[in-house]
Chain A
Amino acid sequence: MITGKGITKTFRQRGGMLGAREVPALRGVDFSIEKGGAVSFIGESGCGKTTLGRILAGLESYDSGEIVIDGVPMSSLRPKQRQPHFRRVQLIHQDPYSALNPARTIHQTLDAPLTLRAKQTGRSRSWIDERAEELLGLVGLDPGYVLPRYPHQLSGGMRQRVVIARALTVDPDMLVADEATSMIDVSLRLGILGLLKDLRDRLGVSVLFITHDVATARYIGLDGELYVIYRGQVVERGPVETVISDPVHPYTQSLLSAIPVLHGLEVPGAERVVPTEAIDAAQPDAGCLFAARCPFRTERCTSELPVLGHDGGTLQEHACFHPQRRSVVATPAVAS
């Protein structure tokens, strides 16, 4: 189990004449994922979802807060000692092509981490080859076909499977999949999502899924949790199906309303919230962070900051003074 508590991170941009500008990427985020669990982060670009994923994978520092991996608080360890803990979290990038060395065959790509693994666990050379084939089988690839090939000889979907197989060589507890399906052809996307769900079931690997395509979050498991992040703050959090079908935060509602409706197959939600575009983040931060874009804001929203909770008796947590369910998601059209 991996938990994070009150994680904050601020990036300092080198400014021009006015000096440095501070950009808060995360404003005290709490996070928790069970063994074999699934959590999805959704939000616009720049909301901090990728930063949080990188922090959990040990690739980015954080300013304050605490990360606990299987009961061990990371702050109690020296940086060197943290490494083996963070290694149990593996990152899967958006672009499987740039994540693989084009000059190495898939065999070579898997061989290096497996050799290291064999050394650590005192296993023989033959185990390495067996394990490589086993892992490729696990991600749904034919080892005989894939092993001798170079990345450019594989399709995008196959490459992403190789990247996942490579991440599995170190027996991770958690995979952080950052937009892992957005560059995969539409017809193959479900295959990768299904694989992530399958790995949860079969290996007990937990999956942190970072995406702007909300619908994909459902396919790594309906038992998962959805975090909606806006400007470094979690504004709504709950079971995937609840947040998607009964969103209460106007930001979540805007995001869901923005998803194209497949006219002919679907009917638009009756209460779609016409979303407004992002506003430059350099505005004063008094009150709710979303207030400036929110069509339902009241005076209270501009002076007081709402915190995550179950106000109004909602099933999911939200950070809104006026939580209200709205049917914004398209529903299937009745067959004519």
Chain B
Amino acid sequence: MSVTSDKRAPGVRISDLSVVYRTGAGELPAVRGVDLELEPGTITGVVGESGSGKSTLALSMLNAVQPPGRIRSGSVEIDGLGDVVTLGGDDLRKTRGRHVGYVFQAAQNSLNPLKTVGKQLLDLGRSHDVDDLPGLVKEARSLLDRMGLDGARVLDSYQHELSGGMRQRVGIMLALVLNAHVVVLDEPTTALDMITQATILRIIREVHEERGLTTLVITHDLGVVAEIADRLAVMYGGRLVEQGPTREVLGAPKHPYTQGLLQAIPRLVGDIDEARALPGRPPTLGTIPPDGCVFRERCAVRMDVCETGEPPVLTIGPRVVACHTAAGDGEQKETVTTGPTRGEEQA
């Protein structure tokens, strides 16, 4: 295993990012005006329902939004690398994997079914001009061993010979083996059962700390974020509606959507009559209202101003919330700045 130190973890600043998809009805925004800072060495969790733009946001970290989508404006600054949005060609290709590792959903079978894991590892090494291929294999094996697998056996296996939890670990290995220090995990535990999920989450947390990573986890499951993330960001209709230290946001959510979502989660304890589904449905690309608040259709505390007025982005200590009802709670700022707060330390 490589020598690690927290100093190597780069910070990431996503500023005013907007991503649009070209459709018959013109260009529609999937992500709009997102500001998000990933502090070095932290895990940030982005939570959203289908159509919230969370996966598009994740792809933007690699500048990998595919046509008909495109990044219309904004930047993704990674320490030591610059703005990923401006990169192209070979520079961009090298960035992916070397600097930013991406773990795809295991359920989507992101591995090639015709090649062993080891062969795919060598392909990865060659495409990144790695001279020391035996060293790469050694590193891969030690990473897999670290995650509780028999590394040598896994490298000799085809994907169909591996369980969902094992494939997910192979995905993590491939994302880290080139020594990337920014890692994006897209729905890392979807389609895994509870015990495997708990194991994968523990591994993500441990590897994150050992290797000194800056990690972004994208998920629809608040529980996943609650378990591992230092900071939580909630997306709805392409907007970041709330963010802050995980425990603070879960303990006292400020945005009506976050509040509704927490109330809508089936829980193991407590009064089941207190839980209720949010009315209405999440917006799709075509039904996101162009003006005003994106959540107003389903909001219990909506006001007249929500129809037309863009919700102000309020920064309250380490927390950020974009809602008209929160106005007066904090200071309104043009650009979002986040404090150096980690959820873990708050606890």
B226 / chain A contacts, CB cutoff of 8 Å: 260-265
* Size range of the chain B interface in the assembly: 35 or more
**Cβ–Cβ contact A330 & B268, under 8 A:** yes
Query: Which partner residue on chain B sits nearest A217 by CB separation?
Result: B266
B275 / chain A contacts, CB cutoff of 8 Å: 190, 219
B269 / chain A contacts, CB cutoff of 8 Å: 245, 266, 329-332
Known A-B contacts A215-B266, A219-B272; A264 and B249 likewise in contact (beta carbons under 8 Å): yes
A214 / chain B contacts, CB cutoff of 8 Å: 194, 268
| Bound complex: CA A214 to CA B196 (Å) | 15
**Cβ–Cβ contact A277 & B222, under 8 A:** no
The smallest C-beta distance from B193 to any residue of chain A, in angstroms, reads 4
A 229-287 contacts with B by CB, 8 A: 244-245, 254-266, 275-278
A155 / chain B contacts, CB cutoff of 8 Å: 281-282
The smallest C-beta distance from B236 to any residue of chain A, in angstroms, reads 10
Q: How many residues on chain A are close to B (CB under 8 Å)?
A: 48
**Cβ–Cβ contact A186 & B221, under 8 A:** yes
Query: Is A189 an interface position by the 8 A CB rule?
Result: yes
**Cβ–Cβ contact A158 & B199, under 8 A:** no
B246 / chain A contacts, CB cutoff of 8 Å: 263-264
The smallest C-beta distance from A255 to any residue of chain B, in angstroms, reads 6
Q: Is the interface of A mostly helix, strand, loop or mixed?
A: mixed
The smallest C-beta distance from A313 to any residue of chain B, in angstroms, reads 24
Query: Is A51 an interface position by the 8 A CB rule?
Result: no
Query: Is A218 an interface position by the 8 A CB rule?
Result: yes
Known A-B contacts A186-B265, A189-B264, A190-B266; A259 and B194 likewise in contact (beta carbons under 8 Å): yes
**Cβ–Cβ contact A254 & B201, under 8 A:** no
A156 / chain B contacts, CB cutoff of 8 Å: 50
B 330-347 contacts with A by CB, 8 A: 343, 347
Query: Is B292 an interface position by the 8 A CB rule?
Result: no
**Cβ–Cβ contact B260 & A222, under 8 A:** no
Query: Is A45 an interface position by the 8 A CB rule?
Result: yes
Partner of B248, one of A194, A218, A264, A275: A264
Of A187, A218, A258, A265, most B-chain CB atoms within 10 Å: A187
Of A193, A222, A259, A260, most B-chain CB atoms within 10 Å: A260
**Cβ–Cβ contact A258 & B194, under 8 A:** yes
Query: Is A63 an interface position by the 8 A CB rule?
Result: no
| Bound complex: CA A151 to CA B311 (Å) | 33
The smallest C-beta distance from B237 to any residue of chain A, in angstroms, reads 12
> Per-residue 0/1 for B256-279: is the Cβ within 8 Å of any A Cβ (1 yes, 0 no)?
000011101111111010011110
Query: Is B197 an interface position by the 8 A CB rule?
Result: yes
A263 / chain B contacts, CB cutoff of 8 Å: 226-227, 246-247, 250, 343, 347
Query: Is B83 an interface position by the 8 A CB rule?
Result: no
Known A-B contacts A185-B49, A263-B347; A219 and B165 likewise in contact (beta carbons under 8 Å): no
Query: Which partner residue on chain B sits nearest A218 by CB separation?
Result: B272
| Bound complex: CA A113 to CA B252 (Å) | 49
Query: Is B135 an interface position by the 8 A CB rule?
Result: no
B264 / chain A contacts, CB cutoff of 8 Å: 186-190
B194 / chain A contacts, CB cutoff of 8 Å: 44, 212-214, 255, 258-259
**Cβ–Cβ contact A194 & B227, under 8 A:** no
**What are 19 sample pairs from A and B whose C-beta atoms fall under 8 A apart?**
A155-B281, A158-B281, A185-B50, A185-B281, A186-B49, A187-B261, A187-B277, A190-B266, A215-B266, A215-B267, A256-B268, A260-B198, A261-B223, A261-B227, A262-B222, A263-B227, A264-B252, A277-B148, A278-B195
10 nearest A-B pairs in the assembled complex, by CB-CB distance: A260-B223, A264-B251, A264-B247, A264-B250, A191-B277, A258-B198, A187-B278, A190-B277, A260-B227, A215-B266
